[in-house]
Amino acid sequence: MKIAVLISGRGTNLQSLIDAAAAEELGAEIALVVSNVPDAPGLERAAKAGIPTETIDHRDFEGREPFEEALHSALSGRSIELVCLAGFMRLLTGGFVGKWRDRLINIHPSILPAFKGLHTHERAIEAGVRFSGCTVHFVTPEMDDGPIIAQAAVPVLQGDTPGDLAARILAEEHKLYPLAVRLIAEGRAKVAGNKVEISGTAEAPSPVVNPAG
């Protein structure tokens, strides 16, 4: 399966996909990395791995639709089968999402549907939840919505700062995103209505309680 990764910044989740592909654990080929930011550090990560890159600066276009037309053309030109958003800081219109229905995924730093949008870690701490985490999901026109593929739960600890929590969740994102891509590439994760059906996987371990006692 040929995949493209869309980035706007550091590209740490991109790196996790690159590493998984190099270890033959991704089940897919990263055929293209696209950034809407010309100097995004993630572009250098891709170049070092020998992956083709393309910059499509949204500021060069009059509105979202022309930008997305250029993006769609770049993806189609590489025969991309799955698009992975990895810190891509642009909201996509329903028109673009519709063209890539069930072929467009995103990773979000919370256990969706909780804490959609920005400042997820600050909001989780303020809400007093005992667990946060991350979610990989298929993208729909609604922000941070769509059928959930995989999730990881991370305990929120006493005295956590948003930075502390973000670092622990990011470590799990780097494990979760390659897993989700592999499940799709191997045909084991398929959208059925508003859910994802997954075959051939182990059940999750026993429940975890926080605080432990």
Beta bridge partners of 5: 33, 84
Report the half-sphere exposure of 164 (CA within 13 A, side-chain side): 9
Task: Residue 136: name the closest of 170, 180, 175, 102 by CA.
Answer: 180
Q: What angle do CA 5, 124, 174 make, to 5 degrees?
A: 30
Catalytic pick from 108, 121, 137, 174? 108
In this structure, what token pair is assigned to residue 89?
């800081």
Q: Let me know if 72 is a catalytic residue.
A: no
* Alpha carbons 35 and 21: distance in angstroms, whole number: 20
Q: Which residues are catalytic?
A: 108
